[in-house]
Amino acid sequence: MNTVIELLKSHRSIRKFTSDPIPQEIVEELIQAGQCAATSSFIQACTVIQITEPAIREKLCEAAAGQLYVKESPVFLLFCADMQRHQLACDMHDADMLSGFTEQFLTASLDCGLFAQNVIIAAESLGLGGCYIGAIRNKIAEVDQLIVLPDKVYPVFGMCLGYPAQDPETKPRLPLEVVLKQENYDNGGDRRLISAYDERVREYYRTRTGGTKDNSWSEQISDMLVKEARPHMLPFLQSKGFILK
């Protein structure tokens, strides 16, 4: 196994950080690494906002279900899907931009995901750790107003970065046979494989929490998917000019 694959397979979410600052030149190197990710049709539709103001970090923490590392991590980045600069590009050439298409929402959002994954992999290669903060979408309209985002821009997720002050185990992933299919979608053996995987996840949680959490993967998923999943997202995205057609 080469060092890149080894790094990728050793990923853990880090939520406790030392007080050591990350030099700004490293942050900028990480963002440049993110820019080198694949981008659909060269649209480059991701904008990253680095938040350092304590008062804003405090409000972001509140919006993200009180996750303290949002305000305590040395670096907090907000990844935004951005079609505003494309409006500018069209204006520069007196072209009428056709916007609001679902495909544009997908490509801009995927651009953010690809960009951010490059950032966190680059950070881990330097001995840093981090975690994604999807919970900013719990109160996405408040986050949007707090950061003063224009139309055609929406916050996809945040990211905390810093030097790790914890060393958690890697979380076991689904069996390869469940996610890698050959020629067609044959899931005939998936129930058996997931049942065995459930026990691995249950043991992981028992070990990590000292026995206070005793969930399997399928239990966790079934509990999650019987609840509404941020139904406010659709009207919010439409208010920002996304998913209109």
pLDDT for residue 167: 95
Q: Give the 3-state secondary structure of residue 132.
A: strand
User: Could you tell me if 230 and 216 are in contact, meaning their C-beta atoms sit under 8 angstroms apart?
Assistant: no
115: its two tokens: 């960009």
Contact 103, 244 (CB under 8 A): no
Q: How confident is the model at residue 226 (pLDDT cuts 50, 70, 90)?
A: very high
Under 8 Å between Cβ of 154 and 83: no
| The predicted structure's pLDDT at residue 210 | 86
Contact 60, 51 (CB under 8 A): yes
Helix axes 24-35, 102-125, angle to 10 degrees: 130
Mean pLDDT over each residue of the chain, to the nearest integer: 97
- With pLDDT > 70 as the criterion, what percentage of the chain qualifies? 100
Give yes or no for residue 180 having a pLDDT over 90. yes
Q: What percent of the chain has pLDDT over 90?
A: 96
Retrieve residue 179's tokens: 């996610």
pLDDT tens string 28-82:
999 999 999 999 999 999 999 999 999 999 999 999 999 999 999 999 999 999 9
Distance CA(180)–CA(171), nearest Å, equals 19
Instruction: Check whether 1 has a pLDDT greater than 80.
Output: no
What are the chain's domains?
3-169 (3.40.109.10), 176-217 (no CATH)
pLDDT tens-digit readout, 90-146: 999 999 999 999 999 999 999 999 999 999 999 999 999 999 999 999 999 999 999
Q: How confident is the model at residue 241 (pLDDT cuts 50, 70, 90)?
A: very high
Rounded CA-CA distance 229/80 in Å is 20
Residue 39, pLDDT score = 98
